């Protein structure tokens, strides 16, 4: 079984365990931040419940419907681990594309490198079949030569896959599971049970940044930039223009077509203007590219808007529903090895 699917199965199983009604949490980023340690500096959220109401999601599901699905309605015989996604759905009683409602992933401001040292956390919300998922998780880990190590902590069961001991999970209620590195798992349990202080809610810069991002969007992200990151930017001549970066935030939504908005707060108005000018120049070069025109991507480059407001650099990309549908078709053709016409052009009968 692919490593990623095995890991997801273990995580999903945690969310299927018996409920703890005393620690129910909101499935939005404002509620989830209460579970995060104070040193949180980066937060990504996905509101899958909202995403599923969009034309974009329906189109993706239509395309997936044309692919191979599990033929049998009954789980395959045997008690081994699922071999693929369809068998996972049938055997484990969980279709993540339908049953997960939201995901939040958090890191310190130092970024992804800290995850390797156990400083990360993820919060999953959804609905699950406890018995099937637990059985699937145990079978999967056992098949790969590991086991689920169980530890009691602050009235919670903390589970660790012995094959990836840097990662653990615990259930907070019947719809909420926390997955975290060894440095964060107990901190998040303490926050959930009231044993710790305010956690990330006491991180004023993070809380203020969260207010800036579009909380109604299907996907969003915020990040505080550390001194170490600024130093690395300054060392790279190509990125030195962004060396005064203080934070960044953005959102992606599919209510009508697609709307991407990304903002970077820099140290001065001049720095924001310089970055805006450089990116704008690059966009203009793309527009003149014969390769871009040959591929039928010119209208997509036209959808890019770059501006600066005071010390903030902003990039917006707005696609119509037709453009988004064409982009999905192009991706499907590439992934399937098929040939499709350039975007924006009619298909000959």
Indicate whether 348 pLDDT > 70.
Answer: no
Both 172 and 273 in one domain: the answer is no
Question: Could you tell me which of 322, 312, 315, 318 has the C-alpha nearest to residue 343?
Answer: 322
Interatomic CA distance for residues 12 and 122, integer angstroms: 12
Residue 320 lies in a domain: yes
Residue 212 lies in a domain: no
Residue 249 lies in a domain: yes
| Mean per-residue pLDDT of the chain | 81
Both 160 and 55 in one domain: the answer is yes
Q: What is the pLDDT of residue 116?
A: 63
Q: What is the pLDDT of residue 66?
A: 54
Question: Could you tell me which of 205, 206, 174 has the C-alpha nearest to residue 30?
Answer: 206
- The contacts found for 204-210 with CB under 8 angstroms, 24 or more apart, are 205/247, 206/33, 206/40, 206/41, 206/43, 207/33, 209/247, 209/249, 210/29, 210/30, 210/33, 210/43
Mean pLDDT of all residues in 56-83:
63
Q: What is the pLDDT of residue 15?
A: 45
Q: Output 334 or 24, whichever has higher pLDDT.
A: 334
Both 176 and 80 in one domain: the answer is yes
Q: Are 242 and 231 in contact (CB under 8 A)?
A: no
Residue 208 lies in a domain: no
Both 106 and 186 in one domain: the answer is yes
Residue 218 lies in a domain: no
Q: How far from each other are the two terminal CA atoms of the chain, in whole angstroms?
A: 43
Residue 295 lies in a domain: yes
Interatomic CA distance for residues 144 and 148, integer angstroms: 11
Q: Interior CA angle at 235 toward 234 and 241, to 5°?
A: 35
Using alpha carbons, list the distances in angstroms from residue 184 to 37, 67, 156, 228. 7, 39, 15, 21
Both 257 and 178 in one domain: the answer is no
Residue 94 lies in a domain: yes
Interatomic CA distance for residues 221 and 197, integer angstroms: 24
Q: Which helix (H) or strand (E) holds 223?
A: strand 219-224
Mean pLDDT of all residues in 308-335:
89
Interatomic CA distance for residues 123 and 15, integer angstroms: 10
Interatomic CA distance for residues 96 and 61, integer angstroms: 13
Q: What is the pLDDT of residue 336?
A: 59
Mean pLDDT of all residues in 134-142:
75
Q: Output 196 or 337, whichever has higher pLDDT.
A: 196
Q: What is the pLDDT of residue 294?
A: 87
Kindly indicate the confidence band of residue 337, based on its pLDDT and cuts at 50, 70 and 90: very low
Q: What is the pLDDT of residue 189?
A: 94
305 has which bridge partners? 316
Both 154 and 282 in one domain: the answer is no
Indicate whether 269 pLDDT > 70.
Answer: yes
- The region of weakest confidence among 228-232, 263-267, 330-334, 335-339 is 335-339
Mean pLDDT of all residues in 9-21:
46
Over residues 283-295, the pLDDT tens digits come to: 999 999 998 888 8
Whole-model pTM: value is: 0.81
Q: What is the pLDDT of residue 198?
A: 85
Q: Which residue has the tokens 């039928």?
A: 296
Q: What is the pLDDT of residue 70?
A: 38
Q: Output 252 or 58, whichever has higher pLDDT.
A: 252
- The region of weakest confidence among 1-5, 41-45, 102-106 is 1-5
SS (H, E, C) 117-170: HCCCEEEEEECCCHHHHHHHHHHHHHHCCCCEEEEEECCEEEEEEHHHCCEEEE
Question: Could you tell me which of 67, 194, 40 has the C-alpha nearest to residue 123?
Answer: 40
Indicate whether 4 pLDDT > 50.
Answer: no
Indicate whether 69 pLDDT > 60.
Answer: no
Both 184 and 263 in one domain: the answer is no
Dump the DSSP string for 61-117. Answer: HHHHHTS---S-SSPPSSSS---SHHHHHHHHS--HHHHEEEEEEEEETT-GGGGGG
Both 67 and 118 in one domain: the answer is yes
Both 16 and 155 in one domain: the answer is yes
Q: What is the pLDDT of residue 349?
A: 33
Mean pLDDT of all residues in 296-300:
89
For 334, the domain range is 225-342
Over residues 158-171, the pLDDT tens digits come to: 888 777 777 888 87
Q: Are 265 and 248 in contact (CB under 8 A)?
A: yes
What percentage of the chain exceeds 70 in pLDDT? 79
Kindly indicate the confidence band of residue 123, based on its pLDDT and cuts at 50, 70 and 90: very high
Kindly indicate the confidence band of residue 173, based on its pLDDT and cuts at 50, 70 and 90: confident
Indicate whether 73 pLDDT > 80.
Answer: no
Question: Could you tell me which of 189, 178, 144 has the C-alpha nearest to residue 162?
Answer: 144
Residue 216 lies in a domain: no
Q: Output 131 or 61, whichever has higher pLDDT.
A: 61
- Counted domains in the chain: 2
Both 157 and 260 in one domain: the answer is no
Interatomic CA distance for residues 60 and 80, integer angstroms: 30
Q: Output 97 or 94, whichever has higher pLDDT.
A: 97
Both 69 and 126 in one domain: the answer is yes
Both 166 and 247 in one domain: the answer is no
């Amino acid at each position: 079984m692919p490593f990623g699917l095995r890991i997801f199965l273990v995580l999903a199983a945690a969310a299927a365990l018996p409920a703890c009604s005393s620690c129910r949490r909101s499935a939005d980023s404002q509620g989830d931040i209460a579970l995060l340690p104070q040193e949180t500096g980066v937060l990504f959220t996905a509101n899958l419940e909202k995403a599923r109401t969009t034309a974009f999601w329906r189109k993706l599901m239509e395309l997936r419907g044309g692919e191979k699905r599990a033929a049998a309605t009954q789980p395959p015989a045997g008690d081994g681990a699922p071999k693929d996604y369809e068998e996972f759905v049938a055997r484990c009683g969980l279709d993540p594309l339908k049953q997960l409602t939201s995901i939040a992933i958090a890191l310190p401001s130092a970024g992804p490198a800290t995850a390797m040292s156990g400083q990360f956390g993820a919060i999953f919300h959804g609905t699950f079949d406890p018995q099937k998922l637990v059985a699937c998780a145990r079978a999967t880990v056992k098949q790969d030569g590991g086991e689920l190590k169980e530890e009691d902590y602050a009235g919670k069961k903390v589970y660790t896959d012995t094959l990836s001991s840097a990662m653990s999970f615990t259930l907070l209620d019947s719809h909420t599971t926390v997955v975290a590195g060894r440095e964060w798992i107990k901190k998040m349990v303490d926050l959930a049970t009231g044993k710790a202080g305010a956690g990330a809610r006491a991180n004023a810069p993070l809380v203020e940044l969260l207010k800036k991002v579009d909380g109604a969007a299907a996907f969003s992200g915020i990040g505080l930039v550390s001194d170490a990151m600024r130093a690395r930017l300054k060392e790279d001549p190509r990125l030195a223009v962004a060396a005064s970066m203080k934070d960044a935030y953005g959102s992606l939504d599919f209510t009508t077509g697609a709307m991407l908005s990304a903002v970077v707060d820099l140290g001065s108005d001049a720095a924001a203007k310089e970055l805006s000018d450089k990116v704008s120049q690059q966009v203009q070069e793309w527009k003149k590219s014969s390769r871009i025109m040959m591929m039928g991507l010119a209208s997509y480059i036209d959808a890019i808007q770059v501006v600066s407001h005071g010390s903030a650099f902003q990039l917006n990309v707005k696609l119509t529903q037709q453009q988004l549908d064409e982009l999905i078709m192009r991706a499907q053709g590439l992934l399937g090895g098929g040939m499709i016409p350039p975007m924006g052009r009619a298909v000959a009968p």
